[in-house]
Amino acid sequence: MKRLYSAIALCASLLLIEAAIFLPHTAAKEDPIGALLRLPAPPPPNPLNRRNSNRTEEFYSKSKPPKDDAPIEDLLDYWAKISNTYQDLRYSPEPSDKAVDRLMSQIDSKPELLTNYLNALPKNERSAEFVKKIYDREGTTGAIDKESRSTIKRWLVYNSPYFTNELYRAASGAGDTESYVSNHDELLALVRVDFDKAKPLIDRLQTGGSRKASRALAAWALYRHAIATDSLGDIERYRDELKSIVEDKTLGAPMRDLAMDGLVAEKEWPGRDEWYMSLLGDETLADMGGYTGLTTLVLISPEEKYIEKMVELLKSDNPVVRAAAVRNLLTRINTRNPEIIKAMLPWLEDRNWAKETGEERRLVIDALRTLKIPESVPGLLKVLDEKGNRPVYAANAMANAANTAANAAGWASNSVRYPETNSNTKTAVAEEEYFPHRTWAIWALGHQADPRAAQPLRRLLPEVEGYERNNIVNAILACKGFSVAEQLDALEWAAKRMGEIASAAAASMAAANAPAANGPYTYNTYADNRPMAVKGQPITAAELRSLIGNQLMQASEVSDELATAVIDRIAFYDTKDPNLDANLRRLVLRWQNSAISRMLLSDVKRDKATVDAMVRLLAQRAELREKQSQDVFDLRSGSPTSVGIAACMLEDVPEYQAILDGENVETKLALFACGRLIRAPLPLAKSIELMGSGDKRLATAAERYLESEDSPQARAAVLARHQGEAKIMGATTAFFGDSGDGTMSEYLIWLFLSVAPESTGNNGYTFYQQGTFKDAEEALIKDVKADAELRGIYSYDGNFVRIYNDKVIFTWDHDSSRYRERELSKFEFDELKSYLTENRVDELAPFLNCPDREYCAPKELVMLGRNGGRRVYMAASPTTPFIVGLDKYFEGLKATPGTVKYEMSRMIPGLEILLADDNLHVETVWKEGDDLRAAATDMAIRKKVEAEIDEAIVEVDPDAPSPGISVDGMQSEYEVREKLRVKREFEGYSWRSIVNGADAGPALQPPGVEFIPLRDGSTVQSTVEQWKARVGETDIRADGEGLYKAVRGKLTRIRTSFHASPVVTPNGRWVAAYKYDEEEGPSLVRINLSTNKEFKIDVMQYTAYYPTAFVPTVNKILLVEQREDGEHYDGYGESEPDDTVSADPEASQMMLLDPETGTLQPIAGEFRPLAQQTFRQLQKTAKPNEFWAAIPDLEKNETAVGLYDTKVFGFKTILKVPKMTFNSMSMWVDEPGKCIYFVYRGHLLKLPFGK
């Protein structure tokens, strides 16, 4: 636990070192008990959560799998880790038959878990059958998503007989390359699952030549098959062949390495180790470049198997043998076995003790940052001064010289220093000496904490750059190289310095009329403004003091001597300098030391403790009771507040009753304040009684405690005091109360973990309320209080059940602007009530079970009436059964269609819904006179198309290569899918005639619109934006192979390489296009269509611009920078449409191109409507150069509709549509009828815009 506190303290110090300790403080005296009551309180534990246990590295040891009868959570965690870290030719344990039984049982009931365990399952017939059964059973519509399904199929390809045709095609690519053998994994997998298919391929490899690596692969394949069929003669034959390849010093490294892999990857054979040991003296096997060579046997064996033998071989007189042993041991250096490091300590003192091919010695040094080995100190000290040579580059030399001069000037003028910068120019002109391992040695010596290193480290301070000195000072402190007086002086100076900064910040904020307590956190350095000494010059006393102070402020552990000295100094300043005294007290809160804890307890006893000090003590109450029990008990003899805190520190249940039955109000206040933070079981009846106290402070404290107690009885008592207020109770990530999250303590996470010690990391805890939930709850409260007919609301994840006297209405949100609504039957509503009752929802605690470094989307169930209610908050992974049940219930309700309604209809009269059909997704609209047409997607057809494409990949062509498998001459699954998608991308899209607000059937595509582009049978088809590249009967088309001219069905390629987004000038002379070439990369080009000559346009490097539209009023082409998300309109094909409106490009992302000269110029004015154009031009008005346009504002969630003038490039807003965003391509204006027709998320709407 101490280690946990130290780690948390370190993280907290790095983030909050100055801000949390030395923020400007108000002049008012702190009320720590009031602050404790305002702090977020921990939620109750939820027994339904599957807790993330505190797994240690030892738990996941490959040499110690869980026992067969271990808890299922242990088996699941362990074997998921083994599967996730699996590597070929690396050791990986296999689960026992019983463990496999239990894993398969879990996977069978939760098939989505399968991909987590694929690599842990034995590669045998049983596993193959089990995986195939799940794969077939779930199909494309079951619990396994598309990505996971591809992963499972790939596993089946390599480990089962079900896709051997595909595996054969991949294995057919096996053969020699310049460096190795291609597709050898596929051939070896095929040998295991279908040797008959592999045999012809093996025969081919055998005839390729005796000195080629493929011969070794053929021998390995035959050796594997011989073992599988137990053919003793063949086993010996092919084993001997592989051995002879390894032993032949004239053969190349790839061939020998592959043969070694074959010998050690298969079943162990008698005499293998002896034969292997005989190879360690072969110098030709010592360094095989990037091949694993002799290390393969160690890598593929249990971690501890060869360590003892290799350590013994380090004593060999043969340097080749010794070097081989070193390389083998280095493969196991991550096991943290101290014997490995001890055996290699001679290498620290003698760099020639073993041959180094890379930076292997650094691995040894780095290991000493986590292992404490006193014998290593002499060697580490020698490494500190070990020199090496490295090249100096011309540009670097000049830059370094310039920086040296600048640094000297800065030092002389008291200026700030900046880190050196280096040019990328690589022109080596000389060599320089440097210390290659010094930084790592400093870190390692700091971990050793050996006083022998103190003086050598101090000697280095002037010799290193300023940024390196913090590491050295930290190491010196660990080695006890600074006297207590030096440390105390540095700490006091830092505290004074920070006090000055805090005062200056407070004065600055006061001058700006910003209250200090609510001002922004400003990170300041406590260091002196004077620069650090230049490298090579003596370090100044001021700089040394600053460096020491910095490290002590971040420390979590200090010596007893320093702690005692600081406590004495704090006592000295208690009355002489209260501000300095307060700063020192805040600083030492991070120090985990018994003397500091004793001082803090004494402060509590004397009513001098801060809220942070109280929180820290409460968090460590169990440890303090065990190690400093007398100090804790002494709190009972202190102030009345101290007595209340003592009860919490001791967790003394009888004392709780005695205090609440007593007369002292201050003691009761303290007990309620600390009791809510440690979830103390205070007497419920007495707490409820005290909520009615005439003392307002005591009544509030009792209520705050009861809110966090959260039992039905406590909740009923609190809500009884808030009748008609619709107060919502229950925790989210914490109990925040009415005060929100304005009060905070950096030690709060310690306290929360002390309440739930089994939690890992923060387990989903956050100490700030979710703004979206808070806003949603306030809206519910407003609804319940405003509607007298509304008895109550159930709200969950955008689903709302509103209960009235005579009906129950179910609504579900689509977004902030619209929703669907229908009435629930009695059966449907009773089903919800029964489900909540069966799950005892009134007693459910929050589901907080979010693993570290994982995001869990939060949800909450709110049950609210006018007299109050409660919430059940959820942020968990995996999803708990209660949440799964809620999701299933509401999904079932939504299967019955509801009436579409729009929030905006309440705000703007006249909004009409013309077409809202779940199966007909409207895409755009067009109108002329009474002829109203809409382009729409038939969702049933699109889903059928996508399902048929999936089926074509999975079932019709089971031998199509899986994603990730590359086969010469074969298309991957992705390629096949993409061809099918393109072929069928417009199936289900059609234009519809809209009459009297209803679909009147199919209609022709309107003139001037190419939403569904014409298909002419050409190999390069037109796109939805083809009108931009058309002049008369000539189209300019583009694809991944080139740029083409299409005239009356005849296609002529005019340029090669990938081209996209062509835009042609009206005179047909020029075309601008985006181009990508493998050698030159992306570019923007213009092509003279008379000569087909190409001209590259100079744009900013690494920025891709697309031609977007020709602008006739200036005779230029608008260029738009490619969006960060890579978005570019490329048609359709997804079964689930993306209705999100993209943000329009900013002015800085657009330019104008003169196609005649290639000149670029920035835009001036409004160009966003022009950039929106895709399948048609903007809609014209009756005036020249004037168009109707819609400009969405995604931040405000509104759309401006108005007139766009392409002469002056100005936009005049006619109407603002709130709570909905769309652009010009989704709108058509009926100017005579003074209304607009627009598409919003698949619905066709009509809105009047007045005069």
Q: Pick from 905, 773, 904, 902: which is nearest to 1198 by CA? A: 904
Domain boundaries, the chain: 68-159, 279-344, 347-387+435-481, 485-592, 620-721, 771-897, 900-1004+1175-1251
Q: What is the pLDDT of residue 521?
A: 32
Q: What's the chain's length in residues?
A: 1251
* Six token digits for residue 84: 């996730």
Whether the predicted model's global pTM rises above the 0.85 cut: no
* Six token digits for residue 878: 């995996």
Q: What is the pLDDT of residue 635?
A: 97
Q: What is the pLDDT of residue 926?
A: 98
- How many CB atoms are closer than 10 A to CB 413? 8
Q: Which residue has the tokens 């095929």?
A: 190
Q: Determine the angle formed by the axes of helices 146-159 and 125-138, rounding to 10 degrees.
A: 150
Question: How far apart, in whole angstroms, are the C-alpha atoms of residue 1019 and residue 1053?
Answer: 11
Q: What is the pLDDT of residue 425?
A: 42
With vertex at residue 101, the alpha carbon angle to CA 95 and CA 107, rounded to the nearest 5 degrees, is 100
Q: What is the pLDDT of residue 918?
A: 83
CATH of 347-387+435-481, one of 2.40.50.100, 1.10.540.10, 1.25.10.10, 1.10.287.890: 1.25.10.10
Query: Most distant CA pair in the chain: distance in Å?
Result: 102
Q: Which residue has the tokens 């310049």?
A: 178
Question: How far apart, in whole angstroms, are the C-alpha atoms of residue 337 and residue 326?
Answer: 14
Burial class of 448 by CB neighbour count within 10 A (0 to 12, 13 to 18, 19+): buried
Q: Provide the residue type at 745 as one letter.
A: S
1077 vs 15, 763, 1040, 1056, 1084, CA distance in Å?
Answer: 46, 49, 10, 9, 11
The stretches in the chain having pLDDT less than 70 are 1-29, 49-54, 209, 393-429, 499, 502-533, 737-743, 757-771, 814, 851-854, 953-974, 1101-1102, 1123-1138, 1251
Q: What is the pLDDT of residue 931?
A: 96
Q: What is the pLDDT of residue 775?
A: 87
* Six token digits for residue 424: 């990328």
Give pLDDT tens digits for 1034-1093. 999 999 899 999 998 899 999 999 999 999 999 999 999 999 887 788 899 999 999 999
